[in-house]
Amino acid sequence: MSQHRLCILGATGSIGLNTLAVVREHPERFQIDVLTANTNVKQMVALCSEFRPRQAIMVCPEAAAELAQVLSSQPSTAKIEVRSGLGPLQEAASNEANDTVMAAIVGGAGLAPTLAAVQAGKRVLLANKEALVMSGQLFMDAALTSGAQILPVDSEHNAIFQCLPREAQQLGSCDLAAAGIDKIILTGSGGPFRELPLAELTEQSPAAACAHPNWDMGQKISVDSATMMNKGLEYIEARWLFNCTAAQLDVVLHPQSVIHSMVSYADGSVLAQMGRPDMRTPIAHCLSFPERIASGVEPLDFMALQNLTFASADAERYPCLALAIKACWQGQWATTALNAANEVAVAHFLNGSLRFTAIAEVCAAVVKQLETTHAGHDVNSLEAVLSVDGQARANATNLIEMNYSC
Ligand code: NAD
Ligand code: MG
């Protein structure tokens, strides 16, 4: 039985809490070394009281001060070291006191600590897809150099990983054709607006966009699922993890979210990973790989399953998906810019200052703006990534303030 000491980046989020739900069931296997969060003090107090980490980090200094005060007043938590800021996140992710890092911060904020874990040669359980979308080759090269083991938490990539033969599970450098694989098929539900009349898309509220039919997730990824930018980011994520060409990567709509993705082999066999739409399954798979542990998720009840259906994604309904697929093959500058523009646009949508359909318009415009200065240029250092990211965020903010305030 393998044992691991964990650093959980983004412990208070949907993935963080699901990770701790699996950990709770296996105290003999997992110890918590570090928990991190942005601002949620109440949740962190509860998690620190239960899991007694060596260290608790809150990015927000006021939140860290409040957490330190509460923890020091309870005998059971008084020894937990509380830190604040971004530097400690990177230190914790690369500290030798833990061997496994769950990268579950949402968005670009997760890039630096996730990359620090990769550079330190950790087992990195990757949920934070934006980090890989932003840095692609840099991220995978860092893993090859350090010997870090990347395990995909995203349910689609986890499904694909499970359907690959052992020799192709070398993420970043696998040779799909040599392993007899024709195609990777990413499945996506199509989100809550899959059947809505197109004319009604523009007036959809944040609450409606976040009401995903199958998955219970954080707000940002829920909006990304409604636009299908999430599937676009996953397409880019798959390209890097599985070393795919455009011809080796397809997206198929599958509204029931029972098949989590598939691998199609040269002999006509298609391997699919199936299960309930519950992130504890891929999380448990990554936590214990190559062993298997209980996740708390019930097996599929085939007698209760309705039809499993499949369709292609409608380009008019999901312009973000096409933007992401195009950006994937345009170059690193394009995926970094697209991700940044999307984060800014989604934040504005969530606070009520941008229409749902304008998310795609802002993303398209920002990538186009940056194309003139960045196309053909290498983005192969963290500084270069952060520079494109910063510029795209500034452009997206300007664009929204000038043209889109609602
Ligand atoms: P969430 O919003 O529920 O949680 C985000 C976590 O990140 C919280 O702990 C928060 O404190 C922390 N955080 C937020 N902003 C931060 C910042 N600026 N600096 C440091 N920490 C910060 O998000 P989630 O749904 O758990 O998603 C986390 C990541 O996992 C995302 O990249 C998402 O795409 C990916 N993912 C999520 C799911 C899911 O089911 N929720 C599935 C697949 C992939
Ligand atoms: Mg996914």
pTM of the predicted model as reported, rounded to 2 decimal places = 0.97
Q: What gap in Å lies between CA 230 and CA 320, rounded to an integer?
A: 9
Give 127 Cα–ligand 1 centroid separation in angstroms.
8
- Our answer on whether the CB atom of 282 is closer than 6 Å to any ligand 1 atom is no
Here the tokens at position 386 are 């952060």
Give the strand pairing for 181-188 and 123-126. Answer: unpaired
Helix/strand/coil (H/E/C) assignment for every residue in the chain: CCCEEEEEECCCCHHHHHHHHHHHCCCCCEEEEEEEECCCHHHHHHHHHHHCCCEEEECCHHHHHHHHHHHHCCCCCCCCEEEECHHHHHHHHHCCCCCEEEECCCCHHHHHHHHHHHHCCCEEEECCHHHHHHHHHHHHHHHHHHCCEEEECCHHHHHHHHHCCHHHCCCCCCCCCCCCEEEEEEEECCCCCCCCCHHHHHHCCHHHHHCCCCCCCCHHHHHHHHHCHHHHHHHHHHHHHHCCCHHHEEEEECCCCCEEEEEEECCCCEEEEECCCCCHHHHHHHHHCCCCCCCCCCCCCHHHCCCCCCECCCCCCCHHHHHHHHHHHHCHHHHHHHHHHHHHHHHHHHCCCCCCCHHHHHHHHHHHHHHHHHCCCCCCCHHHHHHHHHHHHHHHHHHHHHHHCC
Please list the pLDDT of the chain residue by residue as tens digits (406 residues): 889 999 999 999 999 999 999 999 999 999 999 999 999 999 999 999 999 999 999 999 999 999 999 999 999 999 999 999 999 999 999 999 999 999 999 999 999 999 999 999 999 999 999 999 999 999 999 999 999 999 999 999 999 999 999 989 989 889 999 999 999 999 999 999 999 999 999 999 999 999 988 888 999 999 999 999 999 999 999 999 999 999 999 999 999 999 999 999 999 999 999 999 999 999 999 999 999 999 999 999 999 998 999 999 999 999 999 999 999 999 999 999 999 999 999 999 999 999 999 999 999 999 999 999 888 788 889 999 999 999 999 999 999 999 887 6
How many angstroms does the Cα of residue 1 sit away from the middle of ligand 2? 29
Of 282, 260, 286, nearest to 184 by C-alpha is 260
CATH hierarchy code of domain 4-152? 3.40.50.720
Q: 154 CB under 6 A from ligand 1?
A: yes
User: One-letter amino acid identity for 55?
Assistant: Q
CB 217 within 8 A of CB 346: no
Distance from the first to the final alpha carbon of the chain: 56
Q: Is 217 in the pocket of ligand 1 (CB under 6 A)?
A: yes
Binding residues for 1-deoxy-D-xylulose 5-phosphate: 129, 155-156, 189, 212, 225, 230-231, 234
Q: Is 221 in the pocket of ligand 1 (CB under 6 A)?
A: yes
105 lines ligand 1 (CB under 6 A): yes
Any idea where the domains of the chain sit in the sequence? 4-152, 162-304, 331-403
CA distances for 194 relative to 187, 191, 209, 232, 277, angstroms: 14, 6, 11, 16, 18
Which ligand has its closest atom nearest to the C-alpha of 39?
A: 1
pLDDT for 406 equals 63
CB 36 within 8 A of CB 127: no
Q: What CATH fold (topology level) applies to the domain 331-403?
A: Rna Polymerase Sigma Factor; Chain: A (1.10.1740)
ipTM above 0.90, yes or no: yes
Extract the annotated binding site for Mn(2+).
Answer: 154, 156, 234
Order of strands, sheet of 249-253, starting from the edge strand that comes earlier in the sequence: 249-253, 181-188, 259-265, 270-274
